[in-house]
Amino acid sequence: MHFLHQDDLGRLLLRLCVGGLILLHGIDKLMNPATISGIAQQLTSVGLPSFVAYGVLVGEIVAPLMTIVGWRARIGGLLMAINMIVALALVHTGQLWTLNSQGGWTLELQGMFLFGALAIMFLGSGRMAVRPD
């Protein structure tokens, strides 16, 4: 069963999946700039400067692109993880310990994004990348 030992292919699939799905959220924010304004208001309500809201574009556009192509994928994974931690802290804290109507964790999508990004950070890009790390 040697064909099952394809670590680099597994890393590529993880990068494409996590990076691609988070990138779609970033594209949506570019298409709907009011979303950034809403994030800025949330940040100022907790004492942070509003310009930090543009960091979401780094976490949801730049980092996923880095990850997808495999250029500094570990850094891309770190940036996406930071983005998800901020999102959890600002928006989803009240849902951390809740289940949805099907019995799953309410934040399963956010959790998959966070832990997938952490996996990329720790695993690196693998050989199927623009610049393997």
74-114 pLDDT tens trace: 999 999 999 999 999 988 999 999 999 999 999 999 999 99
Question: How many other C-beta atoms are found inside a 10 Å radius of the C-beta of residue 109?
Answer: 11
pLDDT at 71 over 90: yes
Taking the CA atoms of residue 81, residue 86, residue 89 and residue 91 in that order, the dihedral angle to the nearest 10 degrees is -110
63 forms beta bridges with none
**Its pTM surpasses 0.85:** yes
Cα(39)–Cα(13) distance, integer angstroms: 30
